[in-house]
Amino acid sequence: MPFLEHVFQNTPALRDLITPPESSEMRFGHEYFDELDKQAEAEGWPPGWRMDHDAREANRQTVLAGRWSRDLWVFAYGSLIWDPAVYVEEYRRGVLSGWRRSFCMLLEGGRGSHDRPGLMAALDQGGQCDGVAFRIAADLVDRETKFMWHREMFAGAYCPVFHEVETPQGSVEALVFVMDRTNRRYMPHLTVEEAARMIAVAEGGLGPNFDYLQSLVMHLDELGIQDDDMKRLHASARAFRK
């Protein structure tokens, strides 16, 4: 069904830029993991590439304990902005302080391989991040966060935490999926050139890593979200591909 009028009352420019959840490929259940397990075996992904279903659900229950009966705000910095795959009650522009977008997560499957790993965007400490905050209605929190945990916590490389997010309508406490700095996939010390070179050559079953970066930069521009670091990384990776 189309978005209701009030969803974009604070962000009318976003109305035609957001994928409705019923059209999203990111709204998936356990059957999608079965397909990925087959792909992982075929491509030789390392053991433990994804989180166990029971562990993922236990994590969701722990993080959201005491919050089931109220609306849930979520901060989005990447594809969750334009393709949230959940039913949203309200969108706002938002700024998260103390965290920044960074291609700091090792990618050995999907858009990378064990021999030529790529990188995925995550939130790392330092700086600030412009994005959006969206609100899930209380009566949908349980159902919708199951889909969100399938997507964001499929590999267990993020830490779901709550942080204050500043919006033009006031601050909100929002769920944020930040990089787990204890995870083996965390790559904190890459220079722009090193990251760009990895992204330029990495490719997996889902295609080139560069296409993922390019899609992120294009969507941020379309949404009117400024991120000069992402543009510099994109320009550098593009130069390595020539």
Active site residues: 152
Through-space distance between the first and last CA atoms of the chain, rounded to whole angstroms: 43
CB 105 within 8 A of CB 117: no
Q: How far is 86 from 80, CA to CA, in rounded Å?
A: 9
Burial 40-62 (b: 16+ CB within 10 A, else e): beebebeeebbbeeeebeebbee
Give the Å distances, CA to CA, from 127 to 93, 114, 178, 179: 17, 31, 14, 14
The SS3 call for residue 22 is: helix
- Strands (E) across 71-117 are located at 72-76, 90-107
Task: For residue 183, give the 3-state DSSP assignment.
Answer: coil
